[in-house]
């Protein structure tokens, strides 16, 4: 059987073909293989493929969202749902203290369509996002924060939302490139995190799409998501992918 050399996380690992397929599935690695995409799409209805194309045309990575140690499970799940609704493809969850699983009922299936990345260190999360060109945006009601309607949407931005009661950690507030607030005129000066995220995303996405910024996904990014979404849609998709590569060993 074929022996493969795979480079992952700066390590070279030797695999036979079947072990390689199982490894990809465990690591949730999506290989941009257009033949595999064509094969998976043969299992989808025309209506499903049309839906994928409609949603992909509105998806962006110009903005991303981060939640920091949110305690209530339904809040993180609702934020993921807002990301999907407003076309933000990536959500990062920092869990230095609180570790939760996404509530599928509240997320309403959004976990199939939004890329989720977990961190156990806020510093690593911030460094990772900055290395990708994102400015760090701390959502905070303090007076020195920029009002939402004045926010510059042309910059690639990662919006951080904090704990329900305490808000963002001092680390995020200190390392943020800008702070952002939702103008409020009542006695209370805070909103539920999921409500805040929905308000912010609706505003910045609407403003972004009215700008001249090139916010759409690249062709390769769209194809990667077509494969991922097909995999998350098709019953027994892992078995179908395994059979595809076993029948086409030269593809690996």
Q: How far apart are CA 159 and CA 179, in angstroms?
A: 9
SS3 62: coil
Angle between the N-to-C axes of helices 219-233 and 34-41, in degrees from 0 to 180, rounded to the nearest 10: 40
Are 110 and 232 in contact, with CB atoms under 8 Å apart?
no
Share of the chain above pLDDT 70, in %: 80
Q: Is the pLDDT of residue 221 over 90?
A: yes
81-115 pLDDT per residue, tens:
999 999 999 999 998 775 555 544 434 467 889 99
118 DSSP assignment: E
Q: How far apart are CA 15 and CA 8, in angstroms?
A: 12
* Domain boundaries along the sequence of the chain: 3-53+218-251, 60-209
Give mean pLDDT, residues 158-172.
89
pLDDT of residue 51: 98
Q: How far apart are CA 40 and CA 164, in angstroms?
A: 41
Are 62 and 190 in contact, with CB atoms under 8 Å apart?
no
Q: Which CATH number is 60-209 given?
A: 3.40.1280.10
Determine the straight-line distance between the first and last CA of the chain, rounded to whole angstroms: 12
Q: C-alpha distances in angstroms, 40 versus 55, 85, 240, 247?
A: 18, 25, 8, 14
């Amino acid at each position: 059987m074929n022996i493969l050399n795979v480079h992952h996380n700066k390590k070279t690992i030797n695999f036979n073909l079947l072990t390689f397929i199982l490894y990809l599935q465990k690591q949730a690695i999506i290989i941009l293989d257009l033949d595999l995409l064509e094969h998976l799409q043969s299992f989808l209805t025309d209506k499903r493929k049309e839906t994928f194309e409609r949603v992909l045309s509105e998806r962006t990575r110009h903005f991303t969202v981060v939640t920091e140690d949110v305690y209530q499970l339904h809040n993180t799940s609702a934020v993921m749902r807002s990301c999907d609704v407003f076309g933000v493809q990536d959500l990062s969850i920092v869990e230095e203290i609180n570790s939760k699983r996404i509530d599928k009922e509240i997320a309403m299936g959004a976990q199939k369509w939004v890329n989720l990345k977990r961190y156990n260190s806020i510093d690593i999360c911030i460094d990772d996002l900055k290395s990708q060109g994102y400015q760090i945006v701390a959502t905070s009601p303090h007076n020195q924060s920029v009002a939402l309607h004045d926010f510059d949407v042309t910059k690639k931005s990662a919006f951080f939302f904090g704990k329900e009661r305490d808000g963002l950690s001092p680390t995020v507030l200190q390392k943020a490139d800008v702070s952002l607030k939702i103008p409020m005129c009542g006695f209370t000066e805070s909103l539920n995190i999921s409500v805040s995220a929905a308000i912010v995303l609706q505003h910045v996405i609407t403003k972004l799409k009215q700008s001249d910024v090139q916010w759409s996904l690249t062709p390769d990014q769209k194809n990667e998501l077509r494969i991922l979404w097909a995999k998350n849609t098709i019953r027994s998709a892992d078995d179908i992918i395994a059979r595809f590569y076993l029948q086409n060993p030269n593809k690996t």
